[in-house]
Structure 1
Amino acid sequence: MPQEMLVRYRSGKETFEVATHPGAVTKYREGTLKSLDEVLVSDVVFTDYHKRLRASELELKSVFGENYNKEEVLDKILRKGDFQLSAAERRQKLEQKRNEIIEYVHKNFVDPKTHLPIPRMRIEQALETVRPRIDMDQSADRQVALMMSKLSACMPMKKHQVEGTLRVPHGVLGASNAVIRSYCTVAREHYTSEGAVLEIMISPGDYDAFIKALNNASKGNFHLDIAGAAASAAASTEEKPGKKTKPKGTKGRHG
């Protein structure tokens, strides 16, 4: 294990580096470590640590101001600079992202034969077989899309989508349209004197976020029927399943 890890802060043409103890920067940013002494190998700011080139007063003042404070400079470098994760941190983040991928598949895909959610253990076994390269910084849904063909080859899977009929008045359609198109697949749509009627499909995992975003965009003025049960802008994540209320600003009958 290296004795120190570098944090590199860039501003314009200037680069500043400080040496830290392995794993300490993440804990400092999370608030687990609060003292600079617990994080830094030394409080010296370098322009090139490997060449042991120390930052001059002129270089520091050009970026941090004439009356810069040394501790504030070190804090900024630690919080805003780039650094490499330790081996343990990297393993932890990869495991976390792997679990996110498993959970995403479990929530959004079904076995095409049984139409039931795919068990997490089965998804985990499929990942062991496929052995995809997991990216710590890329979203789970994007990575599943990229590995879809390989995953489905060893584990039959079908995207599970909820179908519904969405009614949005003309007055809020412009503001709501971007939200609808970003979360849903619109199978059919037609317009009446009151507004738009859209036949939509949406992944169960996106449903709560969609309702919240649409509620904000339409100011609560929409009506959604899902699987024969009426839902509305009031169907927020805080409500109990099946509860039906008439949200403020929403007109019409709610079943």
Structure 2
Amino acid sequence: MVDVDKAIIARLKKHGKVFEVLVDCDLALAVKAGKDVPITDVLAVQKVFADSRKALVATDADLEQVFSTTNHLEAAKDIIVNGEVQITAEHRARIIEDKRRRILGILHRNGVDPKTHLPHPMTRLELAFEEAKIKISEYERVEKQVKDILKKLMPILPISFEKKEIAVKVPPEFGIRAYPIVKSFGELKKDEWLDDGSWSAVIEIPAGMQNDLFDKLNSLTHGNVDIKILKTSKNEVE
């Protein structure tokens, strides 16, 4: 049960009317993100208000007009999904930091220096963020922000999004353990067990993950692994 004293307001303005519900911040944001959360777990009060501070409940006529239902739970979900959740400063800071880490992770995994075709160190990316005065939005999707941030970073830190097709060949004694490692890095194009018991594979991975893959395979096989980059191509941000 959501504590009313700790609940925040989710508000929707539509057809000249205002509708409010009292919600748990984290669960409401999860609903907005498309996660399957029971609406009864999200609400502090299972009513839709015209003014929650005055405890003024929305009329059935208004609910029917705007939401085509008089069911308060159905209307509440619509308000959360399509309205504005008034997050606290603490939640806002947490969301922004989480998105910042995710954006940096995408740039680090996928982006490389176009001259060397090697990934930029995370510390260099973080410094470029500071230099470019990058601002993270708590509302926009991470993927959308990556595209905009790339444009701002390019004058400071050229980044090319690339993917690489890599062939690996692992000795018989390491094949079974190498398979899940390789597969976890990207799309396994093909793999086969050779006549001598060795395991051979071709995988497509984000260019920035190349060194991590090499390090893991070298660590597993004590350097006894054949690795060959077959081709490099552009990798668009989704």
Q: TM-score range by the shorter chain?
A: 0.5 to 0.7
Name the CA shift for 1:104/1:118 in 2 (closer, same or farther; >3 Å).
same
**1:15 matched to 2:18:** yes
Tell me the distance in 1 between the aligned counterparts of 2:118 and 2:35.
Answer: 42
1 or 2 for the larger relative contact order (CA 8 Å, sep ≥6)? 2
Name the CA shift for 1:83/1:238 in 2 (closer, same or farther; >3 Å).
same
Name the CA shift for 1:56/1:121 in 2 (closer, same or farther; >3 Å).
same
Q: Which residue of 2 aligns with 1:34?
A: 38
**1:68 matched to 2:70:** yes
Task: Give the SS at the match of 2:44.
Answer: coil
Q: Is the 8 A contact 2:48 2:58 kept in 1?
A: yes
Of the three residues 142, 146, 152, the one matched with 2:152 is 146
**TM-score normalized with structure 1 length:** 0.51
What 5-or-longer segments of structure 1 have no aligned partner? 161-202, 209-235, 244-255
Deviation, 1:204, is 0.9
The CA RMSD measured in Å over matched residues stands at 3.5
Deviation, 1:101, is 3.3
Task: Give the SS at the match of 1:158.
Answer: coil
Deviation, 1:73, is 2.4
What 5-or-longer segments of structure 2 have no aligned partner? 166-185, 191-201, 205-238
Deviation, 1:58, is 1.9
Deviation, 1:46, is 1.7
Q: Which residue of 2 aligns with 1:49?
A: 52
Quote the sequence identity (%). Answer: 24
Tell me the distance in 2 between the aligned counterparts of 1:32 and 1:49.
Answer: 25
Tell me the distance in 2 between the aligned counterparts of 1:117 and 1:53.
Answer: 57
Write out per-residue CA displacement over residues 127-172 of structure 1, whole angstroms, 9 at most, x where no aligned residue: 34554222231421211212433xx2xxxx3343xxxxxxxxxxxx
**TM-score normalized with structure 2 length:** 0.53
Deviation, 1:62, is 1.9
Of the three residues 75, 93, 103, the one matched with 1:91 is 93
Map 1:101-180; keep pairs closer than 5 Å: 101-106=103-108, 107-110=110-113, 112=115, 114-136=116-138, 137=140, 138-149=144-155, 152=156, 157-160=157-160
Matching residue's letter, 2:38: K
Q: Is the 8 A contact 1:23 1:86 kept in 2?
A: no
**1:239 matched to 2:189:** yes
Matching residue's letter, 2:12: Y
Write out per-residue CA displacement over residues 65-85 of structure 1, whole angstroms, 9 at most, x where no aligned residue: 4x6323322333333332133
Q: Which residue of 2 aligns with 1:188?
A: none
Name the CA shift for 1:18/1:159 in 2 (closer, same or farther; >3 Å).
closer
Task: Give the SS at the match of 1:15.
Answer: strand
Matching residue's letter, 2:123: M
Provide the aligned length of Structure 1 versus Structure 2: 163
Q: Which residue of 1 aligns with 2:162?
A: 204
